[in-house]
Structure 1
């Protein structure tokens, strides 16, 4: 008999991880640190190990993060581009070395230690010495083609010089933004009244996926190359030899690379890198340790998501002690009250910190955080600093516990804690703080993507009573905008043009932008595809909604409640009256939907079609295309070098198709 509580915990962890995958890989806007994310995965792995009967084939613990997005053509890596296993512990690092030594049946192993750059993984393909393609990691099997944007990186060679060049080579590396370039861009945005970017990694990730080439050119990206993917013919026998070859070819490589013998020397290199990391020109959050010899790498092999011959050692989060001088309460777009620590300014991770998150009322009470306390701050993964503990021995004698107000600090409405939640909420949807939050969400890059309508501008619009709900954005006039601080004629007309262009953005962006509880980008895309319009979506009931893959009962109830609200319904009506006309997904005629209800996975290189062409063809006939083989897969479409997906499909009894089978089936009107 299943343990319902444990099963629910597993499901909740998977959903939480998938939410953070979406934020990190696709939106470049993470909410938690790498360590917190890794802990979520560790907790899920432990539960799945105890209950293997509940582990699906597509569990997030067994796959590489997926950064594939719309608007880019995708390409299959000739050699899979995996991620790295992480460790934060010295003992775990030495256990990793012990596994290497045992697996190779040797006394000692040579390692290479390199800085782990906090950027965006990329694979650059050269054919006959010429750069032909740059592709993101994607899902490990295929990635997005970002060649046009990568060509703006000045230090990246377009052509390799020298004799004995390989016919084809994939060179792996990291695209990043230098700290000084990040500071320059933020200074310009601040001067223009625009919201500043959070950190260099997020900005680099967002820039490589921009479709505006002029803006990419204005943001100076950098790159470091360090890894060998597919190579024909083979040219080196070790990682260190490959680094030397990269230098000879003119590629930028890591500032420092250590060649070590055995575990102790590798550990000494990690400690030395830790002491030097603040001097590096790019953000680094750890050290990558690789087995040096390539034949030993081949011998050790890989798991479904990471090589067994390498590991990333994550440095401890930087900490600082300071005094908590006050506590303010922020009110978000959903009405949640978040306590924020106002701090005596202190240096942390190379920046001056004066504020830190306290999470929620329950967490504050658990740590017994009080005004006047000396507190320890921690900053990991370039995320907002957090108060991790109180230095109790330094607590003032007259300190008293912080008392949360019974009413919203922004509008005075009584606060409530909803059943099953730990957070206090303001339930007044007209609360100015909530209005600002909803507007910022609606205009954000992951929703309606209205360039120029950032936090600072929204704040002015609300404070001047120019905007009170989402539809008011489309009522703004030139005279109102040009009167705002830091706005001139050109910037005002640019904002009006961006607002006008947003009217015809894709339907899922509008659905996401409405701020319906539990509906993120993925759910919005599923809803857009299923209903085809907001009008059809708002008529749906809970029973209809839960039939859609990925929509649970709680999400369905939130959708119905949203449209049942007279206030929300009026805003949605106004949006359409003001000309918002989103682009709906192409609807398929029933007679053409011959693959409806089927799920395809594509693997290998097809004879005549590119992968995205085959995907579009299948979807045009009503089929779904997934990234990995599972029990739900109906067909595996295979080409040359099919790899492990073919083996897995055969073991599950999935029907195997060739490109010719697919085309013939479409002509016949059936694959049966």
Structure 2
């Protein structure tokens, strides 16, 4: 089971993000990279978490996965979502927040040449609208430094913050950090970076990657000796964008020699570079005409090719059995440093791929780092004899092929399937502690083979298994808590691990049918619900039939389930918030925000985590910033206090 590092957990605490995702859920989302199964709130929370960790030097996923998988999913669902329109905040710096001398916006991103062509076409269109000569436009290309963004006004050095307010980190100059280029202070925006050769030679053994190092040198705590030496040796600098080496020329020349120009610009500095920034430089009138969004200047764009590959030799292929019985192949690799991380494992997707491409000891592969816990194999360069198991690695049972997949059919006795199923149940409930995989493995080793059996445990049984007196009582208390603490019925359903039923689909299903009625549904009943295809509908009905006995056994133990309001009833509900979209912000007096959210959902409301133009109410507790309230009011959102909200419910 993948997990967050202790450093990542500490950084999330420092960032003070209001998130309901557990560390285990965060790691699982990063590993599976399947945002379609997430609710809007979970997707936004995950993006915020990834941004916080990336900007703190401990990235959870790669830039490409952040942009193309998770951010793209938010954009597909809500093209005008505020998160897409604002600068992702820096979170690592500690200190008083102050206004920046001028805004430091993000840069619009492009991943194809055609996107750059469209951007140039926008410049030409703007020129024509102002009766300017498009042929006279000059474009500058500079390396897109992958460092820590900051602003130097000659007196203070600020973090970028949210693009408009940052934190004073002038202490880095007091520590000896110099300015790159001509060495002069006060040249505006730039980035703190470290020389690649120096990092690889002197720092790689102490810092996971260069961002980790860059984030470390701005913190208030005393510097590690290796970081201090890097500053003293001028390997780490603040490099103003105005001082970056560049290519400059007309747009037509850029298009005519695009690949060479990009390649040359990448090589102009010995710092980490993750793209090339193109900007209009010779016409302020056009730049003013194009203007900016809250996120980026329209006269500037960054081209990123995200090529992060290496040729690696496979040492062996390790089979791993999941809770569904599917046996998944993991390629064990010659340890290779790729994009700042040491990679020693990669997923081979399924054994059909292993068989077809010839993946086994000695196979030479091209590995593309995706930033996940287990990276992916891009292609096989030199095949070898495929390494395919005959028996389940967990129980030794016979394996059978189903299309490209190998399955262990020993569902009732296979340790991996049993243990992963139990662990998944408690992890998904998210209201119970202590039942991680190690605890579950110990329970199973002592004959506990099901979730129901876990709930039937008594104190003496746990003590006889080797759990201490206090631990045994804590486990029983947590089991009781899981039944008495209110949870959504869709989360309870999701804990049973139904095929093709992530939490989002569970909630969607229960918006149309009551929990105990779903076992009588036909395939047609399921596919009539928006978002369920025929193949999914058939899989859901089949899986529900398989789990019905176990489900009812556990359900009858008595759980405090919050019933999902049926859409048909929401339309007829007399609740004053039925069908409304509500966002809770600040510290509530009359209850926790989580509890208030659950109550609002029970009354037929949709609870969101951020304000959009479709939000009906922003309910404010204490410690809410005026800017947040003003932004909501600008969108036409009704802002009410906690007291007003409670009064509304009593109407």
CA deviation profile, 1:557-596 (whole Å, cap 9, x unmatched): 334333322xx22322332344433333578795616887
CA deviation profile, 1:7-64 (whole Å, cap 9, x unmatched): xxxxxxxx9663478776445699986546766799x99xxxxxxxxxxx96577767
Are the aligned partners of 1:113 and 1:258 in contact in 2 as well (CA < 8 Å)? Answer: no
Name 2:247's counterpart in structure 1: 264
Name 2:101's counterpart in structure 1: none
Name 1:276's counterpart in structure 2: 271
Distance 1:535 1:390, change over 3 A: closer
* 1:443 counterpart (409, 419, 426): 426
Distance 1:316 1:641, change over 3 A: closer
* 1:467 counterpart (439, 448, 452): 448
Structure 1 residue 548 displacement after superposition: 4.0
Unaligned runs of 5+ in 1: 1-14, 46-56, 68-80, 122-134, 138-149, 158-173, 175-198, 205-220, 226-252, 278-283, 603-611, 647-655, 668-672
Within 2, Cα distance between the matches of 1:380 and 1:84?
22
Distance 1:557 1:111, change over 3 A: same
Instruction: State the SS of the aligned residue for 1:535.
Output: helix
Within 1, Cα distance between the matches of 2:385 and 2:285?
64
Are the aligned partners of 1:114 and 1:257 in contact in 2 as well (CA < 8 Å)? Answer: no
CA deviation profile, 1:490-546 (whole Å, cap 9, x unmatched): 6555544444322234122211111112211212233445446x3344344444444
Within 1, Cα distance between the matches of 2:611 and 2:436?
37
Within 1, Cα distance between the matches of 2:597 and 2:139?
44
Distance 1:268 1:484, change over 3 A: farther
Instruction: State the SS of the aligned residue for 2:548.
Output: helix
Correspondence list, 1:68-147, <5 A:
85-88=108-111, 91=113, 95=117, 98-99=120-121, 101-102=123-124, 105=127, 107-108=137-138, 115=145
TM-score by length of structure 2 reads: 0.54
Structure 1 residue 625 displacement after superposition: 7.8
Distance 1:58 1:40, change over 3 A: closer
Structure 1 residue 454 displacement after superposition: 2.6
Are the aligned partners of 1:517 and 1:558 in contact in 2 as well (CA < 8 Å)? Answer: yes
Structure 1 residue 448 displacement after superposition: 2.8
Distance 1:303 1:501, change over 3 A: same
Distance 1:522 1:370, change over 3 A: same
Correspondence list, 1:399-548, <5 A:
399-403=384-388, 405=390, 407-418=391-402, 422-430=404-412, 431-444=414-427, 447-462=429-444, 464-477=445-458, 493-503=473-483, 504-507=485-488, 508-531=490-513, 534-548=515-529
Instruction: State the SS of the aligned residue for 2:561.
Output: coil
Instruction: State the SS of the aligned residue for 2:405.
Output: coil
Within 2, Cα distance between the matches of 1:473 and 1:273?
61
CA deviation profile, 1:457-496 (whole Å, cap 9, x unmatched): 333333x1443222233234556657889x7666555544
Name 2:548's counterpart in structure 1: 569
Structure 1 residue 620 displacement after superposition: 7.5
Instruction: State the SS of the aligned residue for 1:370.
Output: coil
CA deviation profile, 1:301-356 (whole Å, cap 9, x unmatched): 57899764454544645444443221121121222221111223333344443322
Structure 1 residue 390 displacement after superposition: 3.4
Within 2, Cα distance between the matches of 1:298 and 1:473?
66
Within 2, Cα distance between the matches of 1:387 and 1:288?
30
Structure 1 residue 358 displacement after superposition: 0.9
Name 1:385's counterpart in structure 2: 375
Within 2, Cα distance between the matches of 1:323 and 1:355?
11
Within 2, Cα distance between the matches of 1:460 and 1:274?
54
Aligned-residue RMSD, C-alpha: 6.2
Distance 1:518 1:310, change over 3 A: farther
Distance 1:658 1:155, change over 3 A: closer
Structure 1 residue 286 displacement after superposition: 6.1
Distance 1:475 1:540, change over 3 A: same
Say how many residue pairs are matched.
Answer: 478
Structure 1 residue 264 displacement after superposition: 2.0
Name 1:74's counterpart in structure 2: none
Name 2:560's counterpart in structure 1: 581
Are the aligned partners of 1:64 and 1:82 in contact in 2 as well (CA < 8 Å)? Answer: no
Distance 1:370 1:510, change over 3 A: same
1:300 maps to 2:290? yes
Instruction: State the SS of the aligned residue for 2:36.
Output: helix
Within 2, Cα distance between the matches of 1:438 and 1:273?
52
Are the aligned partners of 1:330 and 1:338 in contact in 2 as well (CA < 8 Å)? Answer: yes
Name 2:36's counterpart in structure 1: 18
Are the aligned partners of 1:344 and 1:354 in contact in 2 as well (CA < 8 Å)? Answer: yes
Instruction: State the SS of the aligned residue for 2:562.
Output: coil
Are the aligned partners of 2:359 and 2:385 in contact in 1 as well (CA < 8 Å)? Answer: no
